[in-house]
Structure 1
Amino acid sequence: MEAIAAALIAGIIGFFLNLRESKITHKRTERLNYINEQIKSLYGPLFLHVRAGYEINEYLEDKFERKPIQDLTEIELEEWRVWANEVFIPLNMKQEELLLKNAHLLIENELPKCIVELITHTSEMKVLKNKWEKGDIAKNFSHPYPHELKSYSESSYLLLKNEQKKLIELIK
C-alpha cells in the first residue's frame, strides 16, 4: 500500500514538474518568437541601413577632407547633393519607414530621442530635395542626422541577438 501511495505521489509530482517545465518552455518560445520578429522586422534592417550610411558618410568626409558642408566648393557641394539624393535620403527614408511600420517592436516603452530626431531630419531632407529639384540650392539644414542612432541601433541589435542566443540554448 505504501509503495502504491509513493508511486502515486511521485507520478503527481512528476506531472506538475513537467507541466511547470512545459509552461516555462512555452514562455521562452514566445519570447524567442517576439525577439526574432524584432530582429527581422526592425533592428536587423535598421542596424544595416544605419551602418551602411555611416560607412558612406566616412568615405565622403575623407573625400571632402572633413570640411563642413558650408565650406564645400560648388563642385563638391553638387557632388554631395548627388550622394544625398541617391544614397542618404533613400537610406534615411528606409530607416524612417522601418521605424514607423514597426514602432510596436521597439525595446523601450518610451520613444528614444534619436528616433524622433531621425524622423525630423528625414522630413527636412525631403523638403530640401524638393527645393533642389526646383533649383533652390539650399546649403544648410537645421536638423542634422542623429549620430546617436548608430550606437542605439548597434547596441539594441546586439542586445537582442544575445538574448536570442541565450533563449535558443535554454529551449534546446
Structure 2
Amino acid sequence: MLEGIVGWLSQSGNTATSAIVTGVAGFIAKGIYDLQVQRRKEKLERINQQLKLLYGPLYSLSAASGLAWKEFQENYWPDRQTFFSEGRKMRPGDLALWRLWMRSVFQPINEAMCEAIEKNSELLIENDVPTELSELLAHTEVYKTVIARWDAEDYSEHLASFNYPSELEAYVNRCFLSLKEQQRKLIGYRVPAVKHSGAGDTDTQASAQASLASTFTNREV
C-alpha cells in the first residue's frame, strides 16, 4: 500500500512539473512573439515615415525634374546633348530662356528636395548623407548665388560651379522601391511576379531604361 501511495505522489509530481514547464514555456513564447510584433510594428512605422516625409517626396520631385528637363531639351535644343555645348555661341535669347526655366522650374524643385532632406535627415537609410544628396545640397546652394546675380541684372554667370548629381534619380528610385518592397512584406503583401511572353519583352524594357538613363546623364541643373 505504501508503495502505491509513493507511486501516486510521484505521478502527481510529474504532472505538476509538466504543467509548470508548459506554462513557463508558453509565457516565454508569448513574450518572444510580442517582442517580434512590436519590432515589426516599429520598423513599419519608420518605413512609413521614410516614405511619407523623405523618399516619397524625393521620388516624385526627382521624377518631375527629370521629365521637365526632357521637355526642355526636346522643345528648345533637341540637336545637342547639353544646353551650353562647347564651342556654341549663346545668343541673348538662349540665355534668357535658360534663366526662365532655371528660376521657375528647376531651382524650385531642387529647393523642395533639399528642404525634405534637411528637415528629415534622421530618416535617411544610410548613417551619413550619401554623395548624391550632398551634391544636390551643394549644387542648389551655389545656384542661389547665381540667381542672386541675375536679380541684380548681372548675367555674367549662368552655371553653378557644382554640377547637378547625375546619379540622383537612380539613387532615389532605388531607395524608394526598396522601402516600398519592405513595406509590402511587413504588411503581409507580396507583389505578383511579372510574366514575360518572351525575350523581346526583356530587350524592350532594357532599351527603354537605357534611353531614360541617357536622358538624365547630361543634366546641368
Shared fold (TM-score, shorter chain, > 0.5): yes
Determine if the alignment matches structure 1 residue 45 to structure 2 residue 57. Answer: yes
- Residue in structure 1 matching 2:120, options 81, 94, 102: 102
Distance of 1:96 and 1:61 partners within structure 2: 24
Corresponding position of 1:80:
98
Determine if the alignment matches structure 1 residue 25 to structure 2 residue 44. Answer: no
Amino acid at match of 1:111: V
What secondary structure, in the 3-state scheme, does the structure 2 residue paired with 1:9 have?
Answer: helix
Q: Kindly report the root-mean-square deviation, in angstroms, between the aligned alpha carbons of the 2 structures.
A: 1.7
Classify 1:7/1:132 alpha carbon distance in 2 versus 1 (closer, same or farther; 3 Å). same
- Residue in structure 2 matching 1:112, options 127, 130, 139: 130
- Residue in structure 2 matching 1:68, options 77, 82, 106: 82
Bigger mean CA deviation after superposition, 78-87 or 134-143 = 134-143
What secondary structure, in the 3-state scheme, does the structure 1 residue paired with 2:154 have?
Answer: coil
- Residue in structure 1 matching 2:67, options 34, 55, 59: 55
Amino acid at match of 1:44: G
What secondary structure, in the 3-state scheme, does the structure 1 residue paired with 2:188 have?
Answer: helix
Q: CA deviation at 1:169?
A: 1.5
Amino acid at match of 1:37: Q
1:69–1:139 CA contact under 8 A, matched in 2 = no
Distance of 1:48 and 1:82 partners within structure 2: 22
Kindly provide the CA deviation profile for residues 107-166 of structure 1, in whole angstroms up to 9, marking residues without a partner as x. Answer: 111221111111111012111111111111123332121121111111111111111111
Distance of 2:141 and 2:168 partners within structure 1: 16
Corresponding position of 2:181:
162
Where does the alignment leave 5 or more consecutive residues of structure 2 unmatched? 1-11, 190-221
Structure 1 stretches of 4+ moved >6 Å? none
User: Percent identity among equivalent residues?
Assistant: 32
Bigger mean CA deviation after superposition, 60-69 or 151-160 = 60-69
- Corresponding residue pairs, total: 170
Greater CA radius of gyration, 1 or 2? 2
Higher relative contact order (CA 8 A, sep 6+): 1
Greater per-residue helix proportion: 1
